[in-house]
Chains A and B, each alone.
Chain A
């Protein structure tokens, strides 16, 4: 256990930093610090072009194995990349879900044909993905998925019917990975399949959900006889739960590293504001800023410990605290930002409902403790899986 960066990692850091410095310029300069939560719909086309620029430089999917077009970057290097990306003000990554969720899942569970078909589009920043897990009646209770997938006997093609909700980026995405019930009458985790569904087809309707921030990261996605080829089923028709759970492992692992530098940028802004508006003199504000600082540093060491565990997406016991930890930290930061701003926080800059980054943070961070497993569900998981306490009774 040590804090030393080896020489190769230092070189890697300067390589990343200088590439970003050179490339986040010209047409892309305007993208710096844009596209984060509350600002999702800024510069969407430009940010897609940016994904392709990154891909051309070999900076997408760096954690993927080399045989799949990645760099096989170590955990340390992925951390370094994410740190430098955030430090340079790299824009919100539209390719995030494909790169960190769908890609690793296909690499672990997809067939060679599926990998050949879909990995290049993700890696090259051409094809974007969203996640179809939650439904109106399957929020925390993911096992209550009701979306149905029926296979035509002659063609083998699947027809999907149902509704997904809270689907991030559905309006900007080409594909959605959908968990749907392949076995009529099955319940819970059994009888589910994991489908890769094209969104650009007559059977799919996407409706944005306006959020308390005034923006719409989340969507409803309706499937009415949407078509999915049998070759786009990942794993067997009854292995969907297994695939979906492994993907959630990736979600809580490597994919969350990038956000820590964004958090640091937000905290830096809060600190700068406290210094400039005099609230730094308030003893409780000082305590809370120190708490936030310590909390974020601990988050980093949490993830370093967690990721030292394994790269297969499997979760160590300790890793189970990760979501509860960061979501609570971030929500507290939002409230701290408001308290540092004081009554001035109420004033909006523009004519419409335009929020500043810290105003957006306060409102958006209320979602953090809800999506991806609420804090209450996280506590159940920690108690049951990490501490071995009895499972909740299920109806």
Chain B
């Protein structure tokens, strides 16, 4: 086990930090927050052209970079530090992973060039919002002659508005799950963006009414995709954890910097032990979260290479998401407190981190949700009836 970045990785992350410091500064974030789909298309295009990060998980055979989840996690940390608003997780991580894992040669050959050119995609599977895995799928896919008809509602789809195509999960009559590649402008598809409390992470409802799907649009050669949806939910959770680590780090840094400047009682407030001890507790959570993330990133990379052990991805995701969710809420909330009165103004950015902490905490499962997943692994189900059924 080796918990060090390579020199190449360190260079990628330094480049990312420098790029995002400018491309996702406070003004850019605030401009994205009020943009039509929650981000400025020109900013995404620039990222794709200058950084080529949309290509990280696309194989080299398809002109991608063929890199992995350690690079993804490190870049996402930097994005979290800068409240980056574009559709990176939805498109370049989750949707791209789905296509890389289960797309046919033909599907990859048609989708990857579009993604490389800056188009975006989003995975939609949630028919309900109390579960974050394949069990949450309620949309249906029924045969219609040689084709299929897809019907259903999808809630809380991140970065669906503005995307070029969707990956829609739906249940067949036999209960198996399918994922269909569906163009956003297909007949019967409606995407409704919602105003969100955290304006840096846009969410939409996707509605599909009698959408025609051909066999060629189905991932996994039309086979069952339940495990894939579960895995992609975990990949998404690990990605959010990376964002949370970055956001926590920046909340800590900004709060400490502020306390070093703010003078009360004739001294900087950073010199008060009550403030120092809060900062120390914040740093502990940031670093522990980072450790959980790095492990999870390594496991995600094993998953990408089809060599993760059964349950390993689920466990790593549950540990990282539960710890980092709680850490971000704690660290950003404490940061608001350390900023004092200005912390609750719209002018200071720390409130944006606090909001993003809460939105990323609940999305893809809160700390409690993921701890119960771990408890099931460690202790079995909670109810005796479930235990007997085993």
Q: A-side interface residues toward B, CB under 8 Å?
A: 1-5, 76, 79, 271, 274-275, 280-281, 283, 286-287, 289-291, 293-295, 297-298, 301-302, 304-305, 308, 318, 321, 324-325, 376, 378-380, 382-384, 386-390, 392
The reply to whether B281 and A2 contact each other, CB–CB distance below 8 Å, is no
B277 to chain A, nearest CB (A): 4
Contacts A2-B1, A301-B294, A308-B4 supplied; 9 other A-B pairs, CB < 8 Å = A1-B9, A3-B302, A281-B383, A281-B384, A290-B371, A290-B372, A379-B280, A383-B277, A390-B270
Cβ-closest chain B residue relative to A304: B3
Q: Do A297 and B382 form a contact, CB below 8 Å, given A1-B3, A379-B281?
A: no
The reply to whether B379 and A289 contact each other, CB–CB distance below 8 Å, is yes
Cα-based distance from A290 to B302 in the complex (angstroms) = 23
> What are the residues of chain B within 8 A of A305 when measuring CB–CB?
3, 290-291, 294
> What are the residues of chain A within 8 A of B374 when measuring CB–CB?
290, 293-294
Check B299 for interface membership: any CB of A closer than 8 A: yes
User: How many contacts between A and B, using CB within 8 angstroms?
Assistant: 149
Cβ-closest chain B residue relative to A280: B379
Cα-based distance from A351 to B234 in the complex (angstroms) = 52
Contact among B70, B259, B268, B271 with A1 in the assembled complex (CB-CB below 8 Å):
B70
- In B277-324, the 8 Å CB interface with A consists of 277, 279-281, 283-284, 287-288, 290-292, 294-295, 297-299, 301-302, 318-319, 322-323
B282 to chain A, nearest CB (A): 9
Check B186 for interface membership: any CB of A closer than 8 A: no
21 chain-A/chain-B pairs, Cβ below 8 angstroms: A1-B3, A1-B70, A2-B298, A2-B301, A286-B379, A297-B292, A297-B295, A298-B292, A301-B3, A301-B292, A301-B294, A302-B291, A305-B291, A308-B2, A308-B3, A318-B287, A321-B287, A382-B279, A387-B276, A389-B260, A389-B271
Contact among B280, B287, B322, B380 with A302 in the assembled complex (CB-CB below 8 Å):
B287
Per-residue CB proximity of B68-93 to A under 8 Å, as 1/0?
A: 00100000000000000000000000
Cα-based distance from A383 to B272 in the complex (angstroms) = 11
Contact among A283, A289, A290, A294 with B292 in the assembled complex (CB-CB below 8 Å):
A294
Q: Do A379 and B276 form a contact, CB below 8 Å, given A1-B70, A286-B379?
A: yes
Cα-based distance from A297 to B302 in the complex (angstroms) = 18
Check B256 for interface membership: any CB of A closer than 8 A: yes
Check B5 for interface membership: any CB of A closer than 8 A: yes
- The 10 A-B residue pairs with the shortest CB-CB distance in the complex, in nearest-first order: A383-B276, A290-B371, A301-B291, A379-B280, A286-B375, A382-B280, A290-B374, A390-B271, A304-B3, A280-B379
> What are the residues of chain B within 8 A of A294 when measuring CB–CB?
292, 318-319, 322-323, 371, 374
> What are the residues of chain B within 8 A of A79 when measuring CB–CB?
1
The reply to whether A324 and B297 contact each other, CB–CB distance below 8 Å, is no
> What are the residues of chain B within 8 A of A275 when measuring CB–CB?
379-380
The reply to whether B273 and A390 contact each other, CB–CB distance below 8 Å, is no
Cα-based distance from A290 to B375 in the complex (angstroms) = 5
> What are the residues of chain B within 8 A of A298 when measuring CB–CB?
288, 291-292, 319, 323
> What are the residues of chain B within 8 A of A389 when measuring CB–CB?
256, 259-260, 270-271, 275-276, 279
Per-residue CB proximity of B1-22 to A under 8 Å, as 1/0?
A: 1111110010000000000000
Check B346 for interface membership: any CB of A closer than 8 A: no
Contact among A274, A308, A387 with B256 in the assembled complex (CB-CB below 8 Å):
A387
Cα-based distance from A376 to B280 in the complex (angstroms) = 10
Check B368 for interface membership: any CB of A closer than 8 A: yes
The reply to whether B379 and A387 contact each other, CB–CB distance below 8 Å, is no
B324 to chain A, nearest CB (A): 10
> What are the residues of chain A within 8 A of B318 when measuring CB–CB?
290, 294
> What are the residues of chain A within 8 A of B292 when measuring CB–CB?
294, 297-298, 301
